[in-house]
Amino acid sequence: MTIGISELSSYVPPRILSNEELSKQVDTSDEWIQSHTGIRERRISDDGTFASDLAIVAGSEVLKRRGLDPGDVDLVLVATSSPDYNPFPSTASLVQEGLGCKNAGAFDLQAGCSGFVYGLESAKGMVAGGSMKRILVIGSEVLSKITNWKDRNTCVLFGDGAGAALVEDTGPEGHVILDSWLKSKGSDAGALTREAGGTRVPGAPESPDPRKFTISMNGKKVYLFAVDAIVRTIKALCERNGNAPEELDWIVPHQANARIIEAAAARLKLPIEKFFMNLDRFANTSAASIPIALEEMRERSLLSPGQTLLTVGFGAGLSYGGNLIRW
Binds ligand ACO (CB under 6 A): choice among 12, 79, 101, 256:
256
Cβ at position 78, least distance to ligand ACO in Å: 18
Q: Which is nearer to ligand ACO, 70 or 317 (CB)?
A: 317
Q: Distance between CA 306 and CA 321 in Å, rounded?
A: 22
Catalytic residue at 175?
A: no
110 binds ligand ACO (CB under 6 A): no
Task: Output the CA torsion 91→217→182→96 (10° steps).
Answer: 10
Task: Output the CA torsion 175→176→178→180 (10° steps).
Answer: 70
Q: Residue 9: what residue type?
A: S
Q: Which is nearer to ligand ACO, 70 or 315 (CB)?
A: 315
Length of the chain counted residue by residue = 327
Cβ at position 55, least distance to ligand ACO in Å: 19
280 binds ligand ACO (CB under 6 A): no
Cβ at position 179, least distance to ligand ACO in Å: 22
The 8-class DSSP code of residue 105 comes to E
Size of the site for ligand ACO (CB under 6 A): 25
Stretch of residues binding ligand ACO (CB under 6 A), selected from 94-102, 115-123, 198-206, 250-258 = 250-258
Q: Which is nearer to ligand ACO, 33 or 62 (CB)?
A: 33
Q: Distance between CA 135 and CA 37 in Å, rounded?
A: 34
Alpha carbon 99 to its chain's center: 21
Among 19, 101, 113, 238, the one annotated catalytic: 113
196 binds ligand ACO (CB under 6 A): no
Catalytic residue at 113?
A: yes
Buried-state track 221-238, b at ≥16 Cβ within 10 A, e below 16: ebbebbbbbbbbbbeebb
Residues 36-55 that bind ligand ACO (CB under 6 A): 36-37
Buried-state track 59-96, b at ≥16 Cβ within 10 A, e below 16: bbbbbeebebebebbbbbbbbbbbbbeeeeebbbbbbb
Q: Distance between CA 230 and CA 263 in Å, rounded?
A: 10
Catalytic residue at 238?
A: no
253 binds ligand ACO (CB under 6 A): no
Binds ligand ACO (CB under 6 A): choice among 78, 137, 226, 263:
226
Q: Distance between CA 94 and CA 306 in Å, rounded?
A: 36
Phi-psi region of 158 (alpha: psi -120 to 50; beta: other; left: phi over 0): beta
Helices 219-241/258-268 angle, 10° precision = 40
220 binds ligand ACO (CB under 6 A): yes
284 binds ligand ACO (CB under 6 A): yes
Stretch of residues binding ligand ACO (CB under 6 A), selected from 75-83, 204-212, 254-262, 297-305 = 254-262
Q: Which is nearer to ligand ACO, 54 or 222 (CB)?
A: 222
Q: Which is nearer to ligand ACO, 56 or 113 (CB)?
A: 113
Residue numbers at the binding site for ligand ACO (CB under 6 A): 28, 32-33, 36-37, 113, 152-153, 156-157, 192, 217, 219-220, 222-223, 226, 254, 256-257, 259-260, 284, 314-315
